[in-house]
Amino acid sequence: MKATPQIIIENSSLIPWLSLGASVVLALITLWYVILTSRILKQSRAVEAERKEAQVESQASQIAAWVSFSAVEDRQVTVRTTLLNPTSQAVYDVEVKVADMSGGELPLAPHSVAVLGPGDRLVNETRCRLPPNAGGSLRTSLTFVDNRGIQWQRGEDGGLSRL
């Protein structure tokens, strides 16, 4: 019978390799956990920032102004500008400007209000003579400061923007 060589692995040489392998696996698991946690935190911060921005815009988005007019005679019109604050907080330094669709300012002083209180609806009625080039439709623009001190503008197209 031939003797077959036996390979003997000593336990003392295997332990460092097992320890190294376990350390590498543990490091990979830790790295995966850190990456996953940072992604979740980043998403959470983005959601929170969107929520805060929506909360900041919540009052401003409800403030409105519109214009109506009725002809009196020979290009004389009565122009009514209406301001509305349906919120539970006041807005400040409100200014409404009226223009015709051709972009020309009407000969009206801007309708200005220092404080538009919660739930207030103000109507300003003025008579004026329309310029010869005035179109048949009027539009408003509006600027104001909300209860947080942020200045806003609602353009003639109705869009709201922070100033």
The CA distance from 8 to 64, in Å, is 88
**What is the model's pTM?**
0.65
Do residues 94 and 144 make contact, with C-beta atoms less than 8 angstroms apart? Answer: yes
pLDDT digits (tens, 9 = 90+) for 102-116: 666 665 667 789 999
Strands 160-162 and 111-116: unpaired
The residue type at 160: L
Phi and psi dihedrals of 40, rounded to 5?
Answer: -65, -40
pLDDT digits (tens, 9 = 90+) for 77-104: 788 889 999 999 999 999 998 877 666 6
The angle subtended at Cα 58 by Cα 55 and Cα 63, nearest 5°, is 155
